């Protein structure tokens, strides 16, 4: 007489049998065929790598993302594609949404420009996606009045070929 199986062994064998049956029943979904209406699709989302991200200062620690520093009065040219948001912590511990604007450069690669300051974000909010843009960093200045008096502000000029409809 053979060795009796434990309840656990019987259960394991049953699961293995079910897995073998399930694998045999699985079939790959059919790949889209030409003429199915899938022609001309473009990649969407943030899957395409960004060649580099512009920054005002070098990072304190080496990061994973390649970067370039803004140069005063040196224009950044390209086509505005879209923006994405991240939640970041400020130096004083508050959390806020930070936007990065993606610009398709003349070489075909993407550059990321941080949404540094409310004036820059307000200007970019008026730019239609697909618009040719020239973004120039004009340096910084100190705010002289209001709630943010004494705070350093970054100044940009944004030129665009298409504005969003009002």
Residue (of 131, 130, 98) closest to 116 by Cα position: 98
Contacts of 65 (CB under 8 A, 6+ apart): 50, 52, 53
Q: What is the pLDDT along the chain (166 residues), one digit of tens a residue?
A: 556 666 556 666 665 666 555 555 555 556 666 667 777 776 665 467 888 888 888 888 887 788 999 999 999 999 999 998 888 787 788 888 889 999 999 999 999 999 887 789 999 999 999 999 999 999 999 989 988 888 888 899 999 999 998 7
CA distances from 111 to 12, 32, 155, 160 (A): 53, 32, 19, 17
Domains in the chain, please, with CATH?
A: 50-160 (2.40.50)
Q: Would the pTM count as exceeding 0.85?
A: no
3-state class of 38 per DSSP?
Answer: coil
Residue (of 154, 44, 48, 60) closest to 111 by Cα position: 48
Residue where the block lists tokens 């009002």: 166
DSSP 105: -
């Amino acid at each position: 007489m053979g060795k009796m199986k434990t309840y656990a062994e019987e259960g394991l064998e049953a699961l293995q049998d079910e897995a073998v049956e399930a694998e045999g029943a699985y079939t790959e979904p059919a790949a889209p065929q030409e003429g199915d209406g899938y022609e001309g699709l473009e990649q969407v989302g943030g899957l395409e790598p960004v060649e580099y991200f512009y920054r005002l200062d070098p990072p304190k620690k080496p990061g994973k993302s390649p970067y370039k520093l803004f140069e005063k009065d040196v224009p950044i040219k390209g086509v505005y594609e879209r923006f994405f948001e991240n939640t970041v912590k400020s130096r004083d511990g508050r959390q806020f949404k930070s936007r990065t604007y993606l610009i398709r450069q003349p070489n075909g690669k993407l550059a990321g420009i941080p949404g540094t300051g409310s004036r820059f974000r307000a200007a970019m909010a008026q730019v239609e996606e697909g618009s040719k843009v020239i973004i120039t960093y004009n340096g910084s200045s100190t705010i002289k009045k209001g709630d943010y008096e004494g705070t350093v502000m970054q100044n940009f000029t944004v030129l665009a070929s298409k504005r969003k409809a009002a």
